[in-house]
């Protein structure tokens, strides 16, 4: 333990060990593909690899969408993440099955993904968006 006023070096996640993370990827996003700047395209999740959840809400009566949780080691090459779908179309699931890849999202519904594969960089990729579907994506996480 360092003396008072002495900086701790070599451990960048000390300040995160007593916190949880909540970050909004995008709100009321419409369109296809990953949202462009100034909307954050990915989150740096290094140090937050305890429990990670994505929450996706479709906010518009116009149509649904398809989203894919993704992770990366370098923010350049992206891979589909394994997940449990905890809440599907607003309904809490009674049994869980591991899935990977794209997930269809219905209109006016909420989905919660428990991510099973942690990467230093993570994002939600919108791979299809029907009509003028409006999506909100958030990530909740707990540091290790």
Q: Is 18 within the bounds of a domain?
A: no
d(CA 35, CA 51): 25
DSSP state of 64: -
CB 56 within 8 A of CB 136: yes
Q: Is 44 within the bounds of a domain?
A: yes
pLDDT in tens, 76-87: 898 999 999 999
d(CA 115, CA 56): 13
13's CB contacts (< 8 A; 6+ apart) are: 46, 47, 143, 144
Q: What is the CA radius of gyration of the chain?
A: 17
Q: What pLDDT, on the 0 to 100 scale, is given for residue 2?
A: 43
CB 24 within 8 A of CB 55: no
Q: Which domain holds residue 51?
A: 26-118+126-142
CA 107 remoteness from chain centre? 19
Reported as a pLDDT band with limits 50, 70 and 90, residue 18 is: very low
Q: Is 1 within the bounds of a domain?
A: no
Q: Is 12 within the bounds of a domain?
A: no
Q: Is 4 within the bounds of a domain?
A: no
The domain total for the chain is 1
Q: Is 8 within the bounds of a domain?
A: no
Both tokens of 16, joined, read 């995160």
The CATH number of residue 44's host domain is 2.60.40
Q: Is 67 within the bounds of a domain?
A: yes
Q: What pLDDT, on the 0 to 100 scale, is given for residue 114?
A: 92
Q: Flag whether pLDDT at 75 surpasses 60.
A: yes
| Strand stretches in the chain, DSSP E | 21-29, 43-44, 51-58, 65-72, 79-80, 82-88, 91-92, 98-100, 103-105, 110-115, 121-129, 135-142
Q: Is 71 within the bounds of a domain?
A: yes
Name the burial class of residue 135, with classes exposed (0-12), middle (13-18) and buried (19+) by CB atoms within 10 angstroms of its CB.
buried
Q: What pLDDT, on the 0 to 100 scale, is given for residue 133?
A: 66
């Amino acid at each position: 333990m360092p003396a008072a006023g002495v900086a701790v070096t070599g451990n960048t996640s000390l300040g995160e060990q007593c916190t949880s993370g909540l970050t909004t990827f995008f709100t009321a996003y419409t369109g296809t593909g990953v949202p462009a700047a100034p909307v954050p395209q990915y989150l740096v999740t290094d140090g937050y690899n305890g429990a990670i959840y994505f929450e996706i809400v479709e906010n518009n009566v116009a149509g649904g969408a398809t989203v894919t949780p993704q992770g990366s080691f370098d923010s350049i090459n992206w891979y589909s993440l394994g997940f449990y779908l905890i809440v599907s179309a607003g309904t809490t699931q009674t049994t869980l099955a591991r899935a990977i890849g794209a997930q269809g999202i219905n209109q006016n519904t909420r989905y919660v993904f428990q991510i099973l594969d942690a990467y230093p960089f993570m994002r939600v990729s919108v791979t299809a968006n029907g009509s003028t579907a409006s999506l909100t994506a958030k990530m909740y996480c707990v540091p290790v």
